[in-house]
Structure 1
Amino acid sequence: MMLTTLAVLQALTIVIGVYAMTTDFSLGALTRQSPPTKPTASPPEGSPSVPVVTSGPVLAQLSVKSGGGPLPTKGTLTRQLTSALGDEALGSHVGAVVIDAATGERIFAANADTPIVPASTTKVVTCSAALASLGPDTRLSTRVVQGAKPGTAVLVGGGDPMLAGPSAKPTYPKQASLATLAARTAATLKSQNLRKITLSYDTSLFVGSPIAPGWKPNYVPDGEVAPVYALTMDEGRQNPRFHQPRVSNPPQYAAAAFAKLLAKQGITVSRSVKPGKAPAGAPELGRVDSAPLYSLVEHALTRSDNDLAEALARHVAIKEGQEASFEGGTKAVVAVLQRLGAAQGISLSDGSGLSTRNRISPGALAKLIAMSGSPSQPNLHAIASGMPIAGFSGTLGNGRRFTGSDSRGEVGLVRAKTGTLNNVNTLAGMATTKDGRLVTFAFMADRVPATAEPVLDRLAAIVARS
């Protein structure tokens, strides 16, 4: 049973100092409330914050079909958004759009079809394609199979970058565990009277360069992402609690850790653990599965997880008959979007948005987000439920967003995916108007002098109170 994507917007109940999310089959909507107090802490970007608030429910129910209420007055909305878009902090290349989720009508548009560097709002595109192609209940499997010779075994990477290593702490969504895989494999080997093996590892599911075109040289050293391989533990982090440092050879690092875990289970592994290829149809010795795709998508969007987004793009490539590389992944993602009727205005070089070569129009992003709330696209609901909530979760709950006098009154009333690169700030998501009309928006700027995040928050807040 899908827990978090059964609602397009989760019903968020807030008690003093604590908030909890619940879901159901209907689409939730953001409703009015008295302004909550500001968060008292500033956790790192991507970490959920727990503000002290005294209001009642932030998210109530709304029918997407009806739209929930009348459209906002276009003249007033246009005047307010146009004024905010003139802020010098946005720079000289800006696009914006606001769409009625029920009808697809553009309520406001300024350079809405202009391709702009999207940064991490690219993840909305990648995750939409993954849900549409693979289905929300798909799981990623990491396996151990029997090798070609007696007494050999092969650790087969299944493209799950969230595979938890031995020192990882429990997280949500619950991760597949390398320790569990070792225990299951050891049990099978012992049942075959094998207590000593030669181990190799197979990373052939993904192909091509592990570094995307348009990635800056500092991305891996700075911990923004690990080189992309089909076998990765803790997203290539040396310590799963910290973004950096990332290991240079994630498959070898994971295989070495697995060998030590087998030893703890009473299985001696030969000293040399090398790359290899699993024989076709080889008997399975052990297997662990990831959380279902819908919760992986929610995690990727809420935490802006670059490693997971790149893996999902490659899984789309495999499903769509392309090679599991950066090029194959982007081709496959666009092909899926074409089937959805949402490919116009989208050009990709990677799945995470780290590449400066990506181009997406505001209109394309807002359209996709509107589709995630459509009764005709139930597989896409995790896009809506995965986007950060202003002032509460993920990259909008870091203590820096929606804190200005012109935006903090809309804390809890906006869900949106952020995007940040040098000189690039984007924000795409959904809100309801004061009359309860569900709308989607995208505000994008890629020639930003310093930072435009406060202006983007103001733009989204204008939409939410229109």
Structure 2
Amino acid sequence: MVSEARWWQIGGRVGIPPAQRHTLRLVALSATAGLLVAAGAVAAAGPWEGGQRRAERERAAAVAAHADSPHAPSVTPGTPPVLAALGDGAGSPPARAGLAAVLDPLLRDPALGAQAAGVVYDAATGQRLYGSGQDGAYTPASTVKLATAAAALTALGPDHRIETTAVREGDTVVLVGGGDPTLTARPANGAGPRPASLADLADATARALKADGKDHVRLAYDTSRYTGPTQHTIGPNDNIAPVTALMADEGRLDASDHGPADRTADPAGDAARAFAALLRERGVSCEGEPAEGRAPAGARPLAAVSSPPLSALVERALTTSDNDIAEALARQTALASGRPASFEGAAQAVTERLRQLGLPLDGARIADGSGLDRADALSPDLLARLLALAADPRRPALRPLLTGLPVAGFSGTLRGRYGDGAAGRGLVRAKTGTLTRVNTLAGTAVDADGRLLAFAFMANGTTDADGAQRALDRMASAVAACGCRG
């Protein structure tokens, strides 16, 4: 699968006091201004930083500090404000007939094939403004990650972290996997929220062992937090590693941090061997090869490291369309829901959470967390309603669904799309989905009157992937460009 990015979209709504609506507008603006200044500013800010890019935060502070000044900073000349508010102050919603007149012909583009559908919602009111085949079940490809992420955020909250621990029983140290695919054996690179580090865990473990007078141990590793098959149904693949509770750097055999890559067939064993080498570097010898086992119930804790918060994991999963993180999010949802942390248990847990959110599940099927499984089936209506729900100020836990979306022409899988002059450039944020004969796009757009709209466009049975992609981009751009009030 592919890559993606982020920012923030929230705003006022009927029943919220005017002062609070003003605050919400400022926060909403903070999410977009830095990204619209230039693509270079986005890159300079680095990747994820706890829910908001550095450039965006600094831009937000400047806007807030000078909001009432005649010298208040403005967005790049010629670029309209991306997000004024949800609701009052941001124009009225587009007319249904106006949207249909624009989108119906685009949905009939031959590149989308005979199984194409779409829907548009007003994020402020939750009203459907456009629909064509929106209730049908389609293969979502990677847009299913939106559902996976929403389920995880609902089950665990955005501040949840995944721990990897080392425990001791006698002369044996057990490395216990918690399910963090971002655990790294690489040196720190200083970009974004720092992942949990095996080197840090080895530092703390070696100190604890030496304090106990131990400098020679056996090493075992525990992957029992997850159950069931580790191999995805697509089989060995450079898009995903075997799904285990213990892995380092997503089992990648190169230095990349996203996108396709050669993967190890034994991520847990490789992580344990890397940990053993790190302990040796710190003066603790490890006898023989690490053995798979289970930590005894009474084992003494030695050290632990924690992943970035779940909000950052969600953002990265959406931004880079990271399949390994998405499958981990699904399993963490299963654990929080009392389900087995397997492909099947995770699918059941995600489905339950979507039902609790009140989303339409007729014909829906969750088969995996990443969208690599063609047995997944979702409706455009579910995806668009989920995005509108994430924009609700009363649902702050879901905000990473929006902050994780790529920005048209600037980041993630949309970095190379929406070239200079494209109507949706900087105004469309969307999760892409691509499999053979499947092209989908679900996200948000700010229209010509500053109204935030949520959309989902899905095409199954496509034969021209590039043509289908361009057709979907034209539809999203049309939503952004359309005043459609008449």
Q: Return the TM-score normalized by structure 2.
A: 0.83
Structure 1 Cα separation of the partners of residues 469 and 286 of structure 2? 52
Deviations, residues 125-181 of structure 1 (Å, cap 9, x unaligned): 00001111100000010000113xx21110000100010113564442321001111
Change (3 A) 1:425 1:284: same
> Quick check: 1:371 aligned with 2:389?
yes
> How much does 1:282 deviate?
2.1
**Is 1:353 matched with 2:371?**
yes
TM-superposed deviation, 1:425 = 0.5
3-state SS in 1 of match to 2:56: strand
Structure 1, 242-251 or 125-134: larger mean CA deviation: 242-251
2:336 corresponds to which residue? 319
SS state at 1:247 partner: coil
Higher deviation after alignment, 450-459 or 66-75: 66-75
Structure 2 distance, partners of 1:385, 1:314, is 22
Aligned to 1:45: none
User: In structure 2, what is the Cα distance between the partners aligned to 1:320 and 1:24?
Assistant: 37
Counterpart for residue 12 of structure 1 = 33
Contact 1:12-1:58 within 8 A present in 2 as well: no
Q: Is the 8 A contact 2:273 2:289 kept in 1?
A: no
Query: Does the CA-based 8 Å contact 2:164-2:180 persist in structure 1?
Result: yes
**Alignment coverage as a number of residue pairs:** 426
Normalized per residue, the structure richer in helix is 2
Query: Residue in 1 aligned with 2:20?
Result: none
Q: Deviations over 1:57-103 (max 9, x none)?
A: 77555333538221113223211111111111001111100011122
Question: 1:104 — aligned with what?
Answer: 126
Q: Tell me, yes or no, if the aligned pair for 1:163 and 1:175 is still in contact at 8 Å.
A: yes
Query: Equivalents in 1 of 2:400, 2:118: separation in Å?
Result: 24
Task: Give the Å deviation of 1:443.
Answer: 0.2
Q: Is the 8 A contact 2:438 2:460 kept in 1?
A: yes
Letter in 2 for 1:438: L
Identical-residue share of aligned pairs (%): 43
Matched with 1:342 is 359
The Cα shift of 1:105 comes to 1.4
1:90–1:6 distance in 2 versus 1, CA, 3 Å: closer
Render the CA deviation track for 1:274-327: whole Å, top value 9, x for unaligned: 101001142211110000011111111011000000001000000001000011
Query: Would the aligned equivalents of 1:99 and 1:106 in 2 still touch at CA under 8 Å?
Result: yes
Contact 1:15/1:55 (CA < 8 Å) preserved in 2? no
Q: How does 1:25-424 map to 2 (within 5 A)?
A: 55=77, 60-66=82-88, 68-147=90-169, 150-166=170-186, 169-213=189-233, 215=234, 217=235, 220-221=236-237, 223-241=238-256, 243-345=260-362, 346-397=364-415, 399=416, 401-403=417-419, 408-424=422-438
Amino acid in structure 2 at the alignment position of 1:437: R
Gaps of 5+ in 2: 1-5, 11-27, 43-54, 65-74
Could you say if the C-alpha distance between residues 287 and 63 of structure 1 is closer, same or farther in structure 2, counting changes exceeding 3 Å?
same
Relative to structure 1, the CA distance from residue 88 to residue 246 in structure 2 (aligned partners, 3 Å threshold; closer, same or farther) is same
* Change beyond 3 A, Cα 1:7–1:151: farther
One-letter code of the match for 1:68? A
Q: Does 1:21 align with 2:75?
A: no
**Would you say the 8 A contact 1:342–1:367 is kept in 2?**
yes
The superposition leaves residues 378-415 of structure 1 with CA deviations (integer Å, 9 ceiling, x where unpaired) of 10011011100101111111x2x11387xx13210011
Paired position in structure 2 for 1:33 = none
433 and 5 in structure 1: CA distance in 2 versus 1, 3 angstrom threshold:
closer
* Residue pair 2:87, 2:451 contacting (<8 A) in 1 also: no
Query: What is residue 479 of structure 2 aligned with on the other side?
Result: 463
Q: Distance in 1 between matches of 2:268 and 2:360?
A: 34
Distance 1:6 1:136 in 2: 14
Structure 2: how far apart are the matches of 1:7 and 1:434?
Answer: 16
Q: Whole-Å Cα distance in 1 between the matches of residues 389 and 123 of structure 2?
A: 8
- Deviation of 1:7 after TM superposition, in Å, equals 5.5
Distance in 2 (CA, whole Å) between partners of 1:370 and 1:410 is 19
Contact 1:158-1:231 at 8 Å conserved across structures:
yes
CA distance in 1, matches of 2:384, 2:431: 11
Q: Secondary structure at the match of 1:409?
A: coil
**Equivalent residue letter for 1:231:** L
User: Which secondary structure state, in structure 1, belongs to the residue aligned with residue 423 of structure 2?
Assistant: helix
What is the rounded CA distance, in whole Å, between the counterparts of 1:171 and 1:21 in structure 2? 16
**How far 1:210 sits from its partner (Å)?**
1.2
SS at match of 1:393: coil
Contact 1:68 1:435 in 2 (8 A): yes
Shift of 1:339: 1.1
Query: Which residue number corresponds to residue 49 of structure 2?
Result: none
* 1:89/1:144 CA distance change after superposition, 3 Å: same
Q: Residues 15-64 of structure 1: CA distance to partner in whole angstroms, max 9, x if unpaired?
A: 46424322879xx9xxxxxxxxxxxxxxxxxxxxxxxx964777555333
CA contact (8 A) 2:253 2:262 kept: yes
Q: How far 1:377 sits from its partner (Å)?
A: 1.1
Q: 1:281–1:138: structure 2 CA closer, same or farther, 3 Å change rule?
A: farther
What code does the residue aligned with 1:448 have? T
Structure 1 residues 203-246: Cα deviation after superposition (integer angstroms, max 9, x where no partner): 00011011234x2x4xx34x101010000100011123264210
Q: 1:337 to 1:15 in 2, by over 3 A?
A: closer
Q: How far, CA to CA, are the matches of 2:285 and 2:456 in structure 1?
A: 55
Tell me: CA distance 1:372–1:89, structure 2 relative to 1, closer, same or farther (3 Å). Answer: same
Moved more, 107-116 or 16-25: 16-25
